Amino acid sequence: MTEGTASSSLCRECKQPLMALDFYGERLKGCLTCNIWWTPDDTKKKLAEADLCALHDMIHHSHRDD
């Protein structure tokens, strides 16, 4: 894997921590801010706007429950 991909712990663009998620059965690691995600075989992709918004909402709501 190359610099800035799923092997890294920080986003190459914004330096935010990368997160892992199960996206409809596909394991992805990426940046919620930049919407850059990598599959285990190092394929780069972006989530659809609706999926990204839902992920933001889920994370925001989970933090309010703490």
The pTM (predicted TM-score) of the whole model is 0.73
In the chain, where are the structural domains located?
1-66
Evaluate if residue 2 carries a pLDDT over 50: no
- Residue 3 half-sphere exposure, CB side, CA atoms within 13 Å? 3
CB 39 within 8 A of CB 45: yes
The per-residue pLDDT for range 9-45, each reduced to its tens digit, is 999 899 999 999 999 999 999 999 999 999 999 999 9
Q: Does residue 65 surpass a pLDDT of 60?
A: no
pLDDT at 63: 63
Residue whose structure tokens are 């709501």: 61
